[in-house]
A and B are shown apart, each in its own frame.
Chain A
Amino acid sequence: MSIATNSHVLHRRGFLRVSFAAASGLLVSLYLDPRFAGAQEGGGQQPPAKVYPPDAFVNIRPDGKIVIQVNRLEFGQGVQTALPMLLADEMDADWKNVIGHLAPAADVYKDPMFGIQMVGGSGSIAHSFQQYREVGAKTRAMLIAAATDRWNTTADQCRTEASVVHGPGGRSATYAELAADAARKPVPTTVRLKNSSEMKLVGKKVKRLDSRAKCDGTLKFGLDLDLPGMKVAVIAHPPVFGARVKRIGDNEARSVEGVRDVFEIQLVKGSGVAVVADKFWPAKQARDRLKIEWDMTGVEAADSTELWTRYKQLSLTPGTVAVNGDLKAMDQVVARNRIVAEYEFPFLAHAPMEPLNTTIRFDGDRAEVWAGSQFQTVDQMAIAEVLGLKPEQVTFHTEMAGGGFGRRAVADSHVQREAATIAKRFRGTPVKLVWTREDDVQGGYYRPMHFHRVEVGIGPDGFPAAWRHVIVGQSITADTPFAAFVVKNGVDQTMTEGTADSHYNIRNLHVSVHHPKVNVPVLWWRSVGHTHTAFVMETLIDELALRAKMDPIAYRRKLLKPEAKKLLGPLALLETATAAWRNRLPKGHALGISCHESFGTGVACAVDVSIENKRPRIHRATLAVDCGLAVNPLSVESQFQAGVGFGLSQLMAKGAITLKGGRVEQRNFDGFVPPYIIDAPMAVDVHIVPSGEAPTGCGEPPVPVISPAVVNALARLTGKRYRTLPLANI
């Protein structure tokens, strides 16, 4: 079945629609599912009706291999296995012959909810669940139609199994044999989808498709690309965001053998110096030998110490209201029943394992791009703009990526723009732009710094009677097209999520924000607002439970709203799952509990922690999860086992990006230290609440729960509260 392009019918049914306009006037519409703005209801909303031609998603080869196009980046989350599972199950394809392929940028691969091709918001399965199943079922219907033609019989006389159609009288034909005829059949408008008892793959533990190739060195990531005649480029970025090149001393740089060009390059903000060479090492050597004078006039020099002072001051002043609770309710609570807590969260680098890179070849009237991008549509448009092309003139290949965590989802496409600018100078030659780890650690686009000031008034029943919460932090989406539907009345909801929409029944909850403007580019970081809000909520709730002398699980259960099923279920499951150990910890160990819902998935967490060499040692973590239907329970288990390890980045002693006089103080993994194996839990067991509800995300939900759980355990060991991250030596 060859890939053809069909016209698509878009039904606009009252979904928010925002134009993502490029300077050239081309429009890309972002359709935003209202779920994004608030709590998710599993399976409630229907995606806009759209025709997804099966031949854009499935290619049955003559040798029986079935190539399934995956409409979003695989960067560890397992989507390259899970989405094909959905399709293959409905199609009754032989799983042993299924190959998942990362789809290039094209209209048909846009996320059905967001209307752009992207991965983020833990939405891969949630948004494409229905879509991939339908495509699979339609493909199966077309194969059966081809068979019934051949055998002059009817569909109800046929059944399918493992890439074979079986007909009456013992007849059978493989999908490969039927493929050409099936492609000519009309695509059905409606299909019946399997019920759960019929599923062979979905809901079962299925091993990843990409494992072997990632273990024997054969799988190529974007950085591994090698094309004939390719050049490698690196860029000397300004040491302070937005500074410009004043003077370049490049004699030494140019004398490095293999260097082709050295020139000033305009960046999204400011300018830098690009070095283009035959290979990476000469490019890097040359860059190291550049002598650059920078023009810092008019450039704000952000400084962490100064920012903390400013943020703390702001927290004491009225902010923009996000939740308008009764402020006077606090007056009813005497001082000794109030807790005032101030929290500090530093900038965080995403630091995905594979350094950022993009390869582009510009041929004048078209271009070809290879990038592990979380935002193909957006990046394709940006590259087209730089090259003076239309997006459809830019062929955009999606490469396997070594992690992302949000770093590869950038509204300003700054890395792609840099690469395109260089490629434009080297027409006809593929140019691979490489960001070194130093570029990555120092290059901005961090999870913003946040300051929280919370005042809790405790009622006579031990539960919060009043809650005044001020959050200070840069708006991630300001000055991006996302702001239009994420910023409401001056409040960026990616900062208040997890607090303003808390599932706890907090009386007189008042939340307000300040969004200072700071000269540091900021970005998501896996689980976004929940990275800090969950920490605040779950450590405060824990403190309240302790004061009320209540079991931390019981306290949460009582305080949660009855509708919070996605948390109540996991809490109950957690209780059962930890019954054998949680109240029987050895001396020197303590239990830490937390629970948090994000991106539609509820998670409850219990950790067994002791202190070793002044650091928390996590002997065990137990997680209970409600993610609706677990499409691949093995993948869900992996996401949670590992996701909590990622979350522990926030506790690392050197897990902060700090700025001094405008310059980032950390250079590489020696200064910004990620969790190593000793910092991660030794074992994690994951328990999934059985559910037939529509699937919700698992990419981000593991992250928010772990740091508060660990710190809650430490509080029981030391009697201290830990409200400043990263966690200093204990």
Chain B
Amino acid sequence: MATFKLNVNGQTKEVTVDPSTPLLWVLREDLKMTGTKFGCGISACGACTVHVGGIATRSCIVPISHIGDRPIVTIEGIGQDLVGRAVQDSWVETDVVQCGYCQSGQIMAAVALLKHTKQPTDKNIDESMGGNVCRCATYPRIREAIKNAAAELRKGGA
């Protein structure tokens, strides 16, 4: 057991856990933040995607001992961000979700893409979203929602 001080969505949180515990399970069970999902546990599906130090990160395979003081942003906090909010709104406007279980991860990956690429092409979307599984296969609407969010952000002069 060890104590870790974490910066989660702008707040300081302290947890005492086995250092080998993946960030995903610290978020879900120690911090009771269940918005980040468990889909596979081997970084193959992306349901666990959060941002660590500004980078889209698969939290199911990063032990808490590897985080340090890098700021963590989860689906619960991404709405505070201009791009995050635009993506969430676009997801709702475009009626993307079905079962919804993968969508936290999809949104976090999409936000990372849009922060970097203001006018993503289909190829950009293929590549940045290409590692997130949606078993319901809402992919066509995900693609559309990303383009809609990009358009909205451009309108806002971002």
* Contact A216 B136, CB 8 Å, known A211-B92, A282-B18, A682-B143: no
Q: Which residues of B contact A226 (CB under 8 A)?
A: 29, 32, 34
Complex Cα distance, B136 from A214, in Å, reads: 14
Do the beta carbons of A216 and B44 come within 8 Å of each other?
A: no
Which of A193-201, A400-408, A516-524 has 4 or more CB atoms under 8 Å from chain B?
Answer: A400-408
Q: Would you call A281 and B18 a contact (CB within 8 A)?
A: yes
Cβ of A60 within 8 Å of any chain B Cβ, yes or no, is no
Are A669's CB and B44's CB within 8 A? yes
On chain B, the residues within 8 Å of A218 by CB distance are 35, 76
29 contacts between A and B (CB under 8 A): A75-B99, A208-B97, A211-B91, A212-B88, A212-B92, A215-B88, A217-B33, A217-B35, A217-B76, A219-B100, A221-B101, A224-B28, A257-B1, A258-B18, A281-B21, A281-B22, A285-B18, A353-B99, A353-B101, A355-B39, A402-B101, A403-B135, A638-B95, A638-B141, A644-B137, A668-B40, A675-B137, A677-B134, A680-B140
Which chain A residue lies CB-closest to B89? A215
Residues of chain A whose beta carbon lies under 8 Å from any beta carbon of chain B: 75-78, 207-208, 210-212, 214-221, 223-224, 226, 257-258, 279-282, 285, 351-355, 400-405, 436-438, 634, 638, 641-646, 648, 668-670, 674-678, 680-684
Known: A217-B75, A638-B98, A676-B131. A645 touches B92 (CB 8 A): no
| Structural contact, A353 and B134, CB atoms closer than 8 A | yes
The contact string, 1 if C-beta is below 8 Å from chain A, for chain B 105-141, is: 0010000000000000010011001111111111111
- In the complex, A223→B142 CA distance in Å? 24
Interface residues of B in 61-85 (CB under 8 A from A): 74-76, 79
Q: Is the CB of B74 within 8 A of A683?
A: no
Interface centre among B34, B96, B137, by most A CB within 10 Å? B137
B101 touches A216 (CB 8 A): no
- Any A CB within 8 A of the CB of B57: no
Residues in B whose Cβ lies below 8 Å from that of A642: 98, 134, 136-141
| Chain B proximity of A390: nearest CB distance (Å) | 32
Q: How close is A524's CB to chain B, nearest CB, in angstroms? A: 15
With A224-B34, A676-B131 already in contact, 20 other A-B pairs whose C-beta atoms are closer than 8 Å: A76-B99, A212-B88, A217-B76, A220-B34, A280-B25, A353-B136, A355-B39, A400-B99, A402-B37, A402-B101, A403-B98, A437-B40, A437-B42, A641-B140, A642-B138, A644-B137, A669-B39, A669-B45, A670-B44, A674-B133
Q: Are the C-beta atoms of B74 and A217 separated by less than 8 Å?
A: yes
Q: With both chains docked as a complex, state the minimum distance between the C-beta of B126 and any C-beta of chain A, in angstroms.
A: 5
CA distance A119 to B4 in the complex (A): 44
How long is the Cα–Cα vector from A674 to B141 in the complex, in angstroms? 18
Any A CB within 8 A of the CB of B104 = yes
Check if A668 sits within 8 Å of B41, measured CB to CB: yes
| Partner pick for B75 among A216, A223, A648, A675, CB 8 A cutoff | A216
What mask results when residues 41 to 54 of chain B are scored 1 for a CB within 8 Å of chain A, else 0?
11011010000000
Q: Give the interface of B toward A (CB within 8 A).
A: 1, 18, 20-22, 25, 28-30, 32-42, 44-45, 47, 74-76, 79, 88, 91-92, 95-104, 107, 122, 125-126, 129-143
Per the bound structure, the CA–CA distance linking A220 and B125 in Å amounts to: 28
Contact B136 A215 (CB under 8 A): no
Which of A208, A217, A648, A677 lies in contact with B132, CB distance below 8 A?
A: A677
Cβ-neighbour of A437 out of B21, B39, B136, B140 (below 8 A)? B39
Q: How far, in angstroms, from A646 to B104 measured CA to CA in the complex?
A: 19
> Given A207, A279, A641, A674, which contacts B135 in the complex, CB threshold below 8 Å?
A674
Q: Which B residues lie within 8 Å of A279 (CB)?
A: 25, 29-30
In the complex, what residues of A have CB within 8 A of residue B1's CB?
257
Instruction: List residues of chain B with CB within 8 A of the CB of A668.
Output: 40-42, 44
Q: Which residue of B lies closest to A206 (CB)?
A: B95
Given A353-B99, A354-B101, A436-B41, answer yes or no on A257-B18 (Cβ-Cβ < 8 Å). yes
Contact B40 A76 (CB under 8 A): no
B135 touches A677 (CB 8 A): no
CB distance from A374 to the nearest CB of B (A): 12
A216 & B79 in contact (Cβ 8 Å cutoff):
yes
Query: Given the complex, which residues of B lie within 8 Å of A214, measured CB to CB?
Result: 97, 100, 103
Residues of A within 8 A of B134 (CB): 353, 642, 645, 677
Cβ–Cβ contact B88 & A216, under 8 A: yes
Contacts of B143 in A (CB 8 A): 677, 682-683
B32 near A676: Cβ-Cβ < 8 Å: no
Task: Tell me whether A403 and B136 are in contact (CB under 8 A).
Answer: yes
CB-defined contacts of A669 to chain B, threshold 8 Å: 39-40, 42, 44-45, 133
A76–B45 Cα distance when bound, in Å, is 18
Query: Which residues of chain A come closer than 8 Å to B33, judged between CB atoms?
Result: 217
With A and B bound together, what is the CA distance between A381 and B17 in angstroms?
A: 39
- The minimal Cβ–Cβ distance linking A382 to chain B, given in whole angstroms, is 24
The answer to whether A217 and B36 touch (CB under 8 A), given A76-B136, A354-B101, is: yes
Chain B residue at minimum C-beta to C-beta distance from A438 = B41
